[in-house]
Chain A
Amino acid sequence: MRIWGQPVPLHRGTCHQRGGTVNDEAGAARFRAEVLVHLDAAANLARWLLRNPAEAEDVVQDAVLRAFSYYQSFRGVNARAWLLQIVRNAAYAAMNRTQGIYMVELQEDMANSDGDGRGITLVDPSGDPESLLMQQEARRQIDGLLEALPVELRECIVLRELEELSYRDIAEITAVPVGTVMSRLWRARRLLSEAARAKEAAR
């Protein structure tokens, strides 16, 4: 029943225990309203951690179902952070499981980074082709820089800039002190900024 070996450390909030359980329909409805609404955030985090759409989707699916099983013991107030914590644990477990395989995949990804089929880029079809191309190029560059960051920096910056979470939430999700979050964020931002400037200079 334990999919990733270790139980998820649950938030220790001060909230009252929820009445009922997920076993009734009200519980499932509450789970949808409180947790499942953060599915996009879960998908985004998993995808940025794993850098592989198929694997990320598997991880999110398992993590959400797992969250559902644990929902009645969830006492925190921040369901999004709680779900993201579960997703992160699942993603790390998946990364550990597949380390060897994963390396190969990454190299291949790098080799044809010009024409990879990563994700689906949603663009405004009415835009003119040239600016469209530039937008895509910019996106590809930023994504590439972000993907190249060490995972512990990557998760911090994704949680802060894309999910707009507070330091405290990030600390809880990534299981490190707030001070570590701050220095990781700083390092991530510095690396991104320098890499972006280096690319511009090289052009």
Chain B
Amino acid sequence: MSMHDDCDKVLLLQAEFDGELDAAQSIALTRHRESCACCRDAWRRLQETRQALREQGSYHKASSALTRRLNQALAERDRFEGPGAGRSPWQVLAGWWRPAMGFAGGAAAAAIALLLLFRPLPATDIADLVVASHLRSLQPGHLLDVASNDQHNVKPWFDGKVDFAPPVKNLADQGFPLVGGRLDYLSDRNVAALVYRSGAHLINVLIWPAPTPQAEPPRQLERGGFNILRWQEGGMAIWVVSDLNAAELQKFVTIWRSHD
């Protein structure tokens, strides 16, 4: 008899072997097993296979390097200062050399090199999220939840939608009319988005409570062709993103900050 000549109870037998049967089923099956040569043989095989796998087969634990990298990435995430969550652990890992490359030789190494080339790029830090929000806002119907050039309409609209009071300013007189506002969602929290126009360009101003109380001067970034300026003031973290050129955007921020 071999495991080929399966008795019709064989899956039940296996379930018993794996401890999946209740007591009544289990008793009934044990009785059957005593009288069925096929099942006795199958049971022995199940035991042999289990023993071989558990005692002789490899159990591949996580390498200490991987454990360390992950712990570091998570610790980094804890410290993060963005809206709600934080700088992506992917970013932390992005620069890391993969020690695994060391023991993969020849064709394997080449294959892995190719793999790494085609890996999606880490793209979850705040600047990327801000740009993603900007791009989303340019999709039809996504720009505004409240369309108004009057800050006295826009500001109260945020009441009850976000747990903070975003500063809303209309800069129409300075060439940057307020278009409206919307609620956005960035890295695990609601943020207030104000939309301004400059000629044919749109400017998104994303606001959320700053993680740290101190003010921070504007800093400039560039992501995928979009200019970003970020700073902290009045307990708020403020990120401005636009396809406007850097000088114009700088001007907008200067005016926005000096305006009451």
Contacts and interface: CB of A to CB of B under 8 A. Distances in A.
A39 B50 contact: no
B6 to A, nearest CB: 8
A53 B103 contact: yes
B24 interface: no
A47 B105 contact: no
Given A54-B104, A186-B14, A193-B49, A44 B59 contact: yes
Contact of B56 (A36, A72, A109, A135): A135
Contacts of A21: 84-85, 188
Interface stretch (B70-78, B145-153, B175-183, B235-243): B70-78
Contacts of A31: 74
Contacts of A194: 2-3
B74 A32 contact: yes
Nearest to A192: B49
Interface string B89-107: 1100100001011011111
Interface residues of A, number: 67
Given A101-B115, A105-B111, A192-B49, 18 more contacts: A31-B74, A36-B71, A39-B66, A39-B67, A44-B59, A53-B104, A54-B108, A55-B115, A57-B63, A58-B119, A68-B74, A69-B124, A98-B114, A104-B111, A138-B56, A142-B52, A185-B14, A190-B4
B104 A52 contact: yes
Interface in A86-126: 94, 97-98, 101-102, 104-105, 108-109, 117, 119, 121
A25 interface: yes
A43 to B, nearest CB: 4
B197 interface: no
Given A42-B62, A161-B53, A162-B59, A97 B118 contact: yes
Contacts of A167: 15, 18, 20
B126 interface: no
Q: Most chain-A Cβ atoms within 10 A of its Cβ — which of B11, B56, B57?
A: B57
Nearest to B60: A47
B118 A23 contact: no
Contacts of A64: 70
A65 B90 contact: yes
Nearest to A43: B62
A49 to B, nearest CB: 11
